[in-house]
Structure 1
Amino acid sequence: MRFIKLVFLVFVFTTMLSTNFLQANLKMKSLEILREVKDVVLGSWDYYVPGVEPAYANGVMHVTNLKGDYNVNLELPGGTIPTNNVEVNGNEITFDLYVEGMLVDVKIVIDGDALTGSGNTDQGPFTMTGTRKK
């Protein structure tokens, strides 16, 4: 009888440990999926802004995340422009930057490997489109 009780206790204890392990594993997988969804904005993006000076019309936007802080840099033929006040909310990015001393506000929406965006300057609004670099 003692042996049966011992086997039963070992079985119950093993089952409890397995259940806790599976729950912890599922929680980690859920966090990984959430992180992937949250980071759909990460990467490098070729973009085009119609109707602006040619020096600023085409470039590459680099979106990175270092320890929870998102950074956006715009790579243009004439150099790189850093951005400020970067905020990411799901698949939307907002930031501002200075171009030739003028404040530019930008909002971008990511949809898979495509981006659309708009912004405002002292000279008026603009739109932009782009694709993720492979």
Structure 2
Amino acid sequence: MKKLSLVLFLLFIVPLYTIPAIAVDFASEFDGSWTYECYDAPYPYHEGAVLIVSKEKETLVTITLKNGQSVSGKNVAIKDGNLSFDVYVEGSVVKTVLEKKGAQLTGKVNTPEGIMTLVIKKKDNA
């Protein structure tokens, strides 16, 4: 009976403690300073910088446009290894979904003008 109790404990309780650790690992994969290119977007939205910071179960996204204007990501979520967030630009919601592929993030942005391809590259720290 003790062995059965131990097995049940390991099967049901231990995974509950490891799930948050896995979520944090996904979040930390996206952390850092990045540059983005979306040449389908109009100036000044076609390129700029992205800062992603994970802290205390929350991921913050800040986008700085080529003209220096900054916008913060809303509804930031990391699910199935993808980073998604919304930004509000000129009164419209722009939905973004990104997947990490090596040293860059690739994905789509859904804008009022249509769906556009977005490429984000990690900045060199040197």
Q: TM-score, normalised by structure 2?
A: 0.73
The alpha carbon displacement at 1:115 in A equals: 1.2
CA contact (8 A) 2:77 2:83 kept: yes
The alpha carbon displacement at 1:133 in A equals: 0.8
**Quick check: which one's helix share is greater?**
1
What secondary structure is seen at the aligned counterpart in 2 of 1:95? Answer: strand
CA distance in 2, matches of 1:51, 1:112: 23
What secondary structure is seen at the aligned counterpart in 1 of 2:39? Answer: coil
Structure 1's consecutive aligned runs of 4 or more residues displaced over 2 angstroms after TM superposition are 33-38
The alpha carbon displacement at 1:130 in A equals: 2.2
What secondary structure is seen at the aligned counterpart in 1 of 2:44? Answer: helix
Equivalent residue for 2:31?
Answer: 42
Structure 1 pair 98–67 and aligned structure 2 pair: CA distance change class (3 A): same
CA distance in 2, matches of 1:49, 1:75: 13
For the pair shown, which has the larger CA radius of gyration, 1 or 2?
Answer: 1
CA contact (8 A) 1:55 1:77 kept: yes
Unaligned runs of 5+ in 2: 1-17
The alpha carbon displacement at 1:45 in A equals: 1.1
Structure 1 pair 99–39 and aligned structure 2 pair: CA distance change class (3 A): same
Identical-residue share of aligned pairs (%): 25
Give the 5 Å matches for 1:98-113. Answer: 98-113=88-103
Unaligned runs of 5+ in 1: 1-29
Give the 5 Å matches for 1:24-63. Answer: 34=22, 35-63=24-52
Tell me the amino acid that sits aligned with residue 117 of structure 1: G
Q: TM-score, normalised by structure 1?
A: 0.69
